[in-house]
Amino acid sequence: MVEIVSVTNYGDHLVIIFKINGRPDEHTTTIQKIREGRPPIHMQLIDAVRSLLDEVK
């Protein structure tokens, strides 16, 4: 399970802090700010979380 701890907007990037499987350690990733339009924002967020999970594995 992935728990999103926070999503912070810094200029043109989003900084996402998250935990995996309830571990106490937090992981951070930075992605380009999600743009409105296509694909829908929730799909862009899902893709971003998938890519950061691949980085952590």
What's the distance, CA 9 to chain centroid? 12
Kindly tell me if the per-residue pLDDT of 56 is higher than 80: no
CA distance 24 to 12: 29
Residue 52: strand, helix, or coil? helix
pTM across the whole model: 0.53
Kindly tell me if the per-residue pLDDT of 57 is higher than 70: no
Q: What is the pLDDT of residues 16-55, one digit of tens each?
A: 788 878 777 777 777 776 666 677 767 777 787 787 777 6
How many domains does the structure of the chain reveal?
1
Structural domain including 16 reads 2-56
User: Given this model, what pLDDT does residue 10 score?
Assistant: 78
CA distance 45 to 57: 19
